[in-house]
Structure 1
Amino acid sequence: MYLKKILTLFTFIAFTFSSNAEETKQRDLNTEFNVYTGMFDFSDDGKKSTLIGFQHQNENLNRDTFLGNLSPITGALITADNAAYVYTGVEAQYKIGSLNFNPSFAPGLYHEGDGKDLGHVLEFKSELQISLDLSESSQFGFSYNHLSNASLGSKNPGANSYMFNFFKSF
């Protein structure tokens, strides 16, 4: 039931924000939104939970560095167990044809809700996204991340998650 609602939301977003090629060429495409869903802490059978999230990236803030093209990201996710994570960080962008590799690092604030106790309110998210260009302004991909408090708390169980992503640039 929950997954059906998520798929309906993805379909709505894809059709709502789709545009023809002529409109895309006339715009600057400097803002990217990423809507994703997946499984929070899939490696812990007792506390795994579905999740949905949203991420924003303003490509006007991208900078070319010795590490590649870097950009700030901001986002949030919530699980079916009412755990929530709000974050801001940096993402690197590497492109090979229509394939995109985007590793990122983002510190953020975690609220346990009825979900897993990660040991501290401050958690660090390391993530790798792999996506494929669907058009000039949209992508579909897969990502994996790990949340950890870097032993700031009395315990540091961490959480491993995977997500399916839909990206749209405006």
Structure 2
Amino acid sequence: MKNNLYIKILSAVILTLFSFNVSAEENVSEHQYNFYTGNFDFSDDKQKAILFGFQHQNENLERNTFLGNASPITGGFITENSAAYVYTGVEWNYAMGDKMKFTPSFAPGFYHEGDGKDLGHALEFKTEVQLSYSISESTNLGMSYNHISNASLGDKNPGANSYMFNLLKNF
């Protein structure tokens, strides 16, 4: 029953995103929104759960560094078991030809287990890699993998591995 509600909410968000019309004369905004869904902690059969998330990136704040083009990110997700994670961090964007982009990121954040997995500490660190494909000037589709860990700050550090499907849209 919960899954049907999550799917309806995600569908409504996606339909709303695609209903915005950006005219050819307007520049695409510097704000990128990443809506994603996937499987939280897929490697733990007892704890895996569907997740839904949102991330914002402001391209006005991008900086070229010795590690590549870096940009701050802020986001969060919730699982079907009411676990939640909110984070802020940095991502690096690497073009792989005209249409493909490779994006690793690092983001510390706060985790609330809800009825989901106990990760051992409220402060958790998310490392992620994403591969995305441009389907238009303002829209990309991607897939990502992340690992969340508390770096042994707590008494236990089970971590969680997740994969997601991403819709990235510039407004």
* Structural RMSD (CA): 1.5
Deviation of 1:29 after TM superposition, in Å, equals 2.0
The equivalences for 1:1-170 within 5 A come to 2=3, 4-5=7-8, 8-9=11-12, 11-20=14-23, 22-23=24-25, 26-96=26-96, 97-170=98-171
Residues 28 and 135 (structure 1), Cα distance of their counterparts in 2 relative to 1, 3 Å cut: closer
Deviation of 1:9 after TM superposition, in Å, equals 3.2
Deviation of 1:12 after TM superposition, in Å, equals 1.1
Q: Conserved in 2, the CA contact under 8 Å of 1:17 and 1:168?
A: no
Deviation of 1:28 after TM superposition, in Å, equals 4.6
After superposition, what is the alpha-carbon deviation per residue over 1:21-67, rounded to whole angstroms, capped at 9, x for unaligned? Answer: x14xx225210000000000000000000000000000000000110
2:158 aligned counterpart, secondary structure: coil
Residues 134 and 36 (structure 1), Cα distance of their counterparts in 2 relative to 1, 3 Å cut: same
1:135 aligned counterpart, secondary structure: coil
2:16 aligned counterpart, secondary structure: helix
Pick which of 8-17 and 81-90 moved more: 8-17
Output the TM-score relative to the length of structure 2: 0.92
After superposition, what is the alpha-carbon deviation per residue over 1:57-116, rounded to whole angstroms, capped at 9, x for unaligned? Answer: 000000001100000000010000000000000000001220010000000000000000
Q: Give the gaps of 5 or more residues in structure 2.
A: none
Q: Conserved in 2, the CA contact under 8 Å of 1:125 and 1:148?
A: yes
Pick which of 9-18 and 137-146 moved more: 9-18
What is the alpha-carbon distance in structure 1 between the residues aligned to residue 22 and residue 88 of structure 2? 29
Q: Give the gaps of 5 or more residues in structure 1.
A: none
What is the alpha-carbon distance in structure 2 between the residues aligned to residue 13 and residue 101 of structure 1? 27
Letter paired with 2:148: L
1:13 aligned counterpart, secondary structure: helix
Percent identity over the alignment is 62
Deviation of 1:6 after TM superposition, in Å, equals 5.6
Q: How many residues align?
A: 167
Output the TM-score relative to the length of structure 1: 0.93
What is the alpha-carbon distance in structure 2 between the residues aligned to residue 86 and residue 149 of structure 1? 14
